[in-house]
Amino acid sequence: MREQEGIPTLPSDAGNIRRAAEALRSGRLVVFPTETVYGLGGDAASDAAVAAIFAVKGRPAFNPLIIHVENAEAAFALGDATPEARRLAARFWPGPLSLVLRRRPDAPVSLLATAGLETIAVRVPSHPVARALLREFGGGIAAPSANISGRLSPTRPQHITLPAPDIAHILVGDPPTVGLESTVIACLPDTPVSMLRPGGIPLENIEIPLTTATSESETPSSPGMLTHHYAPRAPLRLNATSMRNDELLLAFGTPLPNARSTCNLSPSADLREAAANLFAHLAHLDAEATRLAEAAHTSDLPTIAVMPIPNRDLGRAINDRLTRAARG
């Protein structure tokens, strides 16, 4: 692997942590050390920053991201605390544990970060630089491992090989002490506690009975096994090149004429903008379809027609999610 070119690599002193928090606030990305691996962080509340994370990593699908927060209280403001979640948090946070919780409706987190799921993964890291950055930033930081999708997760700054433009800084600190990604455990209401990814906390240390839902890792199957993918109530018709009667339109680029209602993923046909808008626009059209059906006193919801999205870059991930949503 080659050393990262073109991204300022900064020691994690107070001034640089402040600079990094500023960059996050302005929607840019920051690479920072955690006790597990280096993370590629962005403002979890920003659709655009989260879309940039997926673009930079080249993730083939919108595999949901772990939201890093300062403490358990902040974590449980994003996802509902079950009794087991509280016990695990008290024992292992801060540290290499991520909890998948039921997402709270008021969580200020991009729908793209949780891939439209009803759940959310949260983690309180223990690395002093990660903690200082979270404190300075004040909100949730969405952060996957700072590797290109499919490559090794970096534990040294010289192993980071990400494309430069969206990344403001690489903060350098003491190397990760764990060196392995966090253990991911789902604690959802009325569901057995289950281990979704083995990781930095040995299973033997977890004194709660666990079911094992799946093995590792960057496959979207773990969330898939656990809970529903986002699926609108309204039927979806993909690759629409003309409108049929009564349909709503999810447009990309110049919208097709004659839709009852239109949301445009990106008027300029920009895939990153489209990714940032995907789940919010689908949810909006779904609500609109429900409203129209209710007004017409029918249980048949109008179809949402979706214009073709090119199958490259983030378009592949968008099409992956749309195909799943259409199946649901």
**Which one of residues 98, 145, 155, 266 is an interface residue with Mg ion (CB under 5 A)?**
145
From the CB of 96, what's the least distance to ligand TXA, in Å?
Answer: 6
From the CB of 267, what's the least distance to Mg ion, in Å?
Answer: 33
3-state per-residue secondary structure call for 31-42:
EEECCCCEEEEE
Q: Tokens 């299973």 sit at which residue?
A: 203
Query: Residue 34 binds which entry of Mg ion, ligand TXA, none, with Cβ cut-offs from 5 to 8 Å by kind?
Result: ligand TXA
From the CB of 31, what's the least distance to Mg ion, in Å?
Answer: 13
Tell me the residue nearest to Mg ion as measured from the CB.
145
From the CB of 32, what's the least distance to Mg ion, in Å?
Answer: 15
Are 110 and 46 contacting, i.e. CB atoms less than 8 angstroms apart? yes
Closer to ligand TXA by CB, 148 or 326: give it.
Answer: 148
Interface with ligand TXA by CB under 6 A: which residues?
34, 36-37, 39, 63-66, 96, 98, 100, 114, 117, 119-121, 123, 143-145, 181-182, 184, 196-197, 217-218, 222-223, 226
Closer to ligand TXA by CB, 100 or 278: give it.
Answer: 100
Query: Residue 223 binds which entry of Mg ion, ligand TXA, none, with Cβ cut-offs from 5 to 8 Å by kind?
Result: ligand TXA
From the CB of 29, what's the least distance to ligand TXA, in Å?
Answer: 13
In Å, the largest CA–CA distance within the chain is 63
Amino acid letter at 11? P
Closer to Mg ion by CB, 98 or 145: give it.
Answer: 145
Query: Residue 191 binds which entry of ligand TXA, Mg ion, none, with Cβ cut-offs from 5 to 8 Å by kind?
Result: none
Our finding on whether 63 is near Mg ion (CB under 5 A) is: no
The burial of 2, by beta-carbon neighbours within 10 Å (0-12 exposed, 13-18 middle, 19 or more buried), is given as exposed
From the CB of 53, what's the least distance to Mg ion, in Å?
Answer: 11
Closer to ligand TXA by CB, 16 or 145: give it.
Answer: 145
| CA-closest candidate to residue 121, choices 184, 49, 209, 71 | 184
Closer to ligand TXA by CB, 55 or 120: give it.
Answer: 120
Q: CA-to-CA distance for 248 and 258, rounded, in angstroms?
A: 9
Closer to ligand TXA by CB, 208 or 293: give it.
Answer: 208
The tokens of 77 are what? Answer: 């403001």
Closer to Mg ion by CB, 19 or 59: give it.
Answer: 59
Beta bridge partners of 122: 67, 99
Please tell me the count of residues contacting Mg ion according to CB under 5 A. 1
Query: Residue 95 binds which entry of ligand TXA, Mg ion, none, with Cβ cut-offs from 5 to 8 Å by kind?
Result: none
Query: Residue 65 binds which entry of ligand TXA, Mg ion, none, with Cβ cut-offs from 5 to 8 Å by kind?
Result: ligand TXA
Burial 35-71 (b: 16+ CB within 10 A, else e): bbbbbbbbbbbbbbbbbbbbbbbbbbbbbbbbbbbbe
From the CB of 147, what's the least distance to Mg ion, in Å?
Answer: 6
Its sign, for the CA torsion 68, 72, 78, 83, is: positive
From the CB of 275, what's the least distance to Mg ion, in Å?
Answer: 18
Q: Give the range of 19-27, 79-87, 144-152, 161-169 binding Mg ion by CB under 5 A.
A: 144-152
Query: Residue 132 binds which entry of ligand TXA, Mg ion, none, with Cβ cut-offs from 5 to 8 Å by kind?
Result: none
List interacting residues with Mg ion (CB under 5 A). Answer: 145
